Structure 1
Amino acid sequence: LRAVEQRQIMPVGSTEPVDIDLRLVTATNRDLLQEIKEERFREDLYYRLNVVGIHLPSLREREEDIPLLVEHFIKKYNAEMGKHCVGVSDEAMRLLMNYEWKGNIRELENVIERAVIFAEDDVIKACDIGLIGYSAAASSGKNENLQAALKAYEKGQICRILNKYDWNKTEAAKALGVGLSSLYRKFDELGINVKKYKKQQ
């Protein structure tokens, strides 16, 4: 506290304080006022640190930033990996827009980095995006987009399984736990052109 308030420290073994010149920047994802109430954070330290407070909303609260961030990360990893991705498909963007992003921007960056690595085309498709613990943002009140997002995710999953089994539809159907006729119906329902996707792979 002395270092923060008086800008002085007492070196070990010294009897004289030493002046320091510092600017302290702190960050947290916790509600510190609640932490103080529950006696998990010192109130005096809070008021010494909280000179200028900036609240940064989570990524799921500012979805309008997602397309800009996606574009930025694609450019970044294109340059690092010598790739030539020009963007993401509409289906892929729907997935990204409806995901919860509990890991915020770092999670989004990791997803785009992985997609750039595995993308076979110059446009990142839903098949290229792997979202861990996928959860469409129904909790954010975007129910009107939920059905489209789920279809895009389902299409991506089917494409990944087909690719895993070298586009053997019988093996893919077994892995997905559906009959072959059901898989063909999904092709029609989700607009999966097997010949086109296989050629792209």
Structure 2
Amino acid sequence: MTVSDPLSAVLRALERPGRDTSDYDLNPGTVLPEGRVLRPAAVLVPFLCGPAGIEVVLTKRSSRLKHHPGQIAFPGGKVDATDAGPVEAALREAREEIGLPQGAVEILGTWAAHETVTGFSVTPVFGRIRHAFEPVPEAGEVDEVFSVPLAHAADPARFRIEGRRWRGEMRRYYVAPYGPYYIWGATARILRALADRMAA
């Protein structure tokens, strides 16, 4: 008997075409400046297959950080000059931020970069964590490492659209709250894109 891959639905979704995402795609009237220079970054979207099912590992950023304090995020950050590319950057950041060994991750694929309102071009890198690991939050950067069931993150009904003023204009964005965690912004947008492709 052939045992199916528990991530088969995710793998199919990663192969499906879908429109690119950005922090602006719910705000079609936004006029972006020509010649803007975006800083390359990458995030790891890590899937962990456990006894309770498939989970997505996320972080809660430190409340002491200058940028995005306390926000829910994938492990990730800027692509350094020493990184071979976004995949290596995502794996390096995951090792630094949550103590995830690089060799414990099987890369499943990447998507086109997501432009953020803060001037980053963020490449989502999808990976399978091969075995359980003990998260080690990076002191001063990460307050908490936690997991969200994929059944929640991949359910379009769990998402809603909210808005707030940003630099004098109303900005709309996806949110997908989970318990005490307010998942929003680029993190929620990437998860919503995954949910849409899995539901297709």
TM-score (norm 1): 0.29
Higher strand share: 2
With CA pairs under 8 Å and 6+ residues apart, which has the higher RCO, 1 or 2? 2
> Which protein is bigger by CA-based radius of gyration?
1
